[in-house]
C-alpha cells in the first residue's frame, strides 16, 4: 500500500474476527493495545490505522 500524497509505503495485516469457530476479537484488541504502547519504540513497527469490517480487522502498519 502507498499513501499517494507522500509516496510512503505501508503494509496491511488482515485479521479474521473468528477463526475455527472461535471469537478472536479480544486477541486482536490486545495486539492493537501492545502496538499502541510501543509506538515510540524504534524496534517495533508503527501502527498507523485500524479498519473494522464485519468479518475482519485490518491493521495498517509502517
Q: pLDDT truncated to tens, each residue of the chain (62 aa)?
A: 666 677 788 999 999 998 877 888 899 999 999 999 999 899 999 999 999 999 999 999 98
In this prediction, residue 46 carries a pLDDT of 93
- Quick one: pLDDT at residue 3? 64
Residue 10 near residue 59, CB atoms below 8 Å: no
The rounded distance, in Å, linking the Cα atoms of 25 and 42 is 27
User: Domain extents for the chain?
Assistant: 11-61
* pLDDT for position 24: 86
Say if domain 11-61 classifies as CATH 3.30.200.20. yes
Amino acid at each position: 500500500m502507498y499513501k499517494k500524497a507522500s509516496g510512503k509505503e505501508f503494509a496491511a495485516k488482515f485479521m479474521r474476527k473468528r477463526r475455527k469457530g472461535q471469537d478472536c476479537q479480544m486477541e486482536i484488541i490486545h495486539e492493537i493495545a501492545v502496538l499502541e504502547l510501543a509506538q515510540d519504540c524504534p524496534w517495533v513497527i508503527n501502527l498507523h490505522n485500524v479498519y473494522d469490517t464485519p468479518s475482519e480487522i485490518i491493521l495498517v502498519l509502517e
